[in-house]
Structure 1
Amino acid sequence: MTIAGIGAVTGYGWGRETFWQGLLSGASAASTQSGYGPGRDQDAWVSLVPDGGDPQVSASRYGRAVHAAAREAITDARDRGWQPGRTVGLLHAIVLGDVANWRDFYLIDNGHRRSRDYLPLLPSTPISVLLQEFGFHGPTMNVSAACSSANVALITAKLWLNAGMADDVLCVATDLSATPDMVEHFVQLGASVADAEPLQACRPFQAGSRGFGIGEASVAFVLTRSADRPYAAVLGGAMTNDAYHVISVDPSHERILDCARRALADAGVRATDVTYFNAHGSGTRQCDVAEHHLVGHVFADRPHIYALKPLVGHCQGASAAVEVAAAALSYDRGIVPAAPIVASAHPRLLDGAAAFEGGITAKLSLGMGGNNSVVLLGAA
């Protein structure tokens, strides 16, 4: 299965090229937002998707972002030689859905709306609107596995293609949930940091990391076996669950290590074949410890390491899609858009954008509830 088209809406703005140039700048997509800090009377650093998109599609920023990412990916894939097969499926990776719109539904509209204004709240609506526009009739499904959702959607798409359930799959991952109340609770959990610029606070594989800054994104992929100039191949993947705690990672890391080994086996590659480790990179202590263990124990500290959450923020259910998009673009453009190092770091951590050496990329994604996933990418 290959990635034939990419669309992206991120904190850097609307569009794949805006996303790419933002990464290469080495600057965070975050800015200070009024009313997001403690007590709602202070500023906080958040990577919000700016307003934009097609107002004819939806009154909701969420709905417009879903549609914009999908449209861009489909146009991109067609430009790269993709012709839709008879059956095109659609997977949408989500966790909380249209949070801001649900908030307004209850707090502003008191739970009363016209049907046409209520329907966009339902997770089935963005999918239906996309299918109608493009005439796709394949299987459709929402995928939810916490912050591992986008990786899981890619693995599910591969299963669909292997089983013959679809000829092609449009995979979209969306999370625009960075409202003040959501930021507040992640800060209270000790996972997120909102009082400092993300590159200083979020330091995966570096000393002094305090946690992640929250971000938003909608990213889409066209996945197929038939395209003239695909970006990269999805070689395989795996999922496991710690079954340990609703927030904390199992300190043995046994299931994370097993997930990586299963993904390697599914892809038919060896750990020594992996050139790049695209980290989950949340910058929390337990994540850093787990990823150090994985890179050392399974990959013998061989791969180059890079993490993108210091740049784009932690985009929750869409986080893996943002990071897979960057990895796939690396194969096409010969550059790895890593975040700059700001403190004492792991010797294999890349310091800013670097020339891409080729080889296989392992993408780890972890999610609350013990959700672990690894996807292996390679040259198309």
Structure 2
Amino acid sequence: MTIAGIGAVTGYGWGREALWEGLLSGKPAARLYPGYGQNRDRHGWVARVPDGGDGNLGPSRYVRAVQESVREAVADATERGWRPGRTVGVLHAIVLGNVYEMRDFYVEDHGHQRARDYLRLLPSTPISMITQEFGFHGPAMNVTAACSSANAALITAQLWLAQGIADDVVVVATDLSATPDMVEHFESLGAAITDVDPLTACRPFQAGTRGFSWGEASTAFVVTREADRPYLAMLGGAMSNDGYHVISLEPSYEHIFDCVRRALVNADVRPEEVAYLNSHGSGTQQCDDAETALLREMFDDKPLVCATKPLTGHCQAASAGVEIAGVALGYERNVLISAPVVAEAHARLVDGVVPGGNGITLKTALGMGGNNSAVLLGPV
């Protein structure tokens, strides 16, 4: 299966080229916004999606981001030779959904809205708008697996294609949830950091890391068997759950390792063939420890390591989608991108922008609730 089209809306702006230019710059997408912190008394660093998109879609940034990312991906795939099959499925990877408007529904409007405004809050609405606009009539559903949701949606798309449930699949992963209310709780858990800039706070595989900066995004992919100029091949993947704790990783990492082993088998890839680890790289100490152990024990510290969350922010349900978009664009342009190294770092961590991207990539994504996922990506 291949990814034949990409669409992206991120903290860097609207469109995949805005994401690419942002990644190349080595500068975080985050900006200072008022009202963050435990007492809501200061400005905080978050990578929010700026206003933009098609105003005819209505006032919702969330709805516009979903629809515009899919439009861009479909147009891109069409230009690359994709022709939709009879059955095109739609998968939407989400966790928290339309957070800003849901908050307004309860806090500002006290549960009373016009029907058309209320309908924007339902998870079924963005999918319905996609199927109506493009005339897709295949299976359509939401996928949620915490911060591994985008990986989970791509693995589900692979299953649909393999079983003939769909001829093609549009996968969109969206998270616009950087409200002060939401971020506050992740700060209290010691996971999110808003009081310093992202390169200071979020240092995956580097000394002094404190946690992640929050990001927002909607990324979309056209997944198919048939296209003239696809970006990359998705070779296989796997998912698992620790069954251990709602936020903490199982300390032996047994289930993360097993997930990666099964992904390698599914993709028919040997560990020594993996050239790059595109890490979950959240910047939390427990994720750093787990992925460092994975590198050492399963791959003998051979792959180069990339971590871009210091640049894009941690986009929750969309995080793996943003990172896979970067991998795909990098394959096409022969570039490997990671955040700049600012402290003592793992020996295999990539520092900024370097030539590369012509080998197999392991993309890991770890989510709260014990969700583990891994996909193998490679040049077509």
TM-score range, shorter chain: over 0.9
The answer to whether 1:60 aligns with 2:60 is yes
2:194 matched residue in structure 1: 194
Q: Distance in 2 between matches of 1:122 and 1:58?
A: 15
Report 1:1-380 matches (<5 A): 1-380=1-380
State the shift of 1:57 in Å: 1.4
- Conservation of the 8 A alpha-carbon contact between 2:233 and 2:377: yes
1:259 partner SS: helix
1:111 partner SS: coil
Q: Distance in 1 between matches of 2:199 and 2:168?
A: 38
Moved beyond 3 Å, runs of 4+? none
- Partner amino acid, structure 2, of 1:329: L
Which structure 1 segments of 5+ residues have no match? Answer: none
State the shift of 1:37 in Å: 2.4
2:171 partner SS: strand
| TM-score scaled by length of structure 1 | 0.99
2:7 partner SS: strand
State the shift of 1:58 in Å: 2.9
1:83 partner SS: coil
| TM-score scaled by length of structure 2 | 0.99
Q: Distance in 2 between matches of 1:338 and 1:247?
A: 26
- Partner amino acid, structure 1, of 2:207: A
1:113 partner SS: coil
2:276 partner SS: strand
Identity %: 66
Cα distance per residue 1:150-194 (max 9 Å; x no partner): 000000000000000111000000000010011111000001111
- Conservation of the 8 A alpha-carbon contact between 2:330 and 2:357: no
- Partner amino acid, structure 2, of 1:349: L
State the shift of 1:350 in Å: 0.4
Q: Distance in 1 between matches of 2:123 and 2:66?
A: 11
1:45 partner SS: strand
- Partner amino acid, structure 1, of 2:50: P
Which structure 2 segments of 5+ residues have no match? Answer: none
State the shift of 1:115 in Å: 1.1
State the shift of 1:357 in Å: 4.6
Q: Distance in 1 between matches of 2:37 and 2:50?
A: 19
Cα distance per residue 1:316-368 (max 9 Å; x no partner): 01001001111111111111121110000011000001101511000000000
Please say which of residues 333-342 and 31-40 is displaced more in the overlay.
Answer: 31-40
- Partner amino acid, structure 1, of 2:189: L
Q: Distance in 2 between matches of 1:207 and 1:109?
A: 46
Q: Distance in 1 between matches of 2:330 and 2:258?
A: 27
Q: Distance in 2 between matches of 1:127 and 1:354?
A: 38
2:252 partner SS: coil
| Number of residue pairs aligned between Structure 1 and Structure 2 | 380
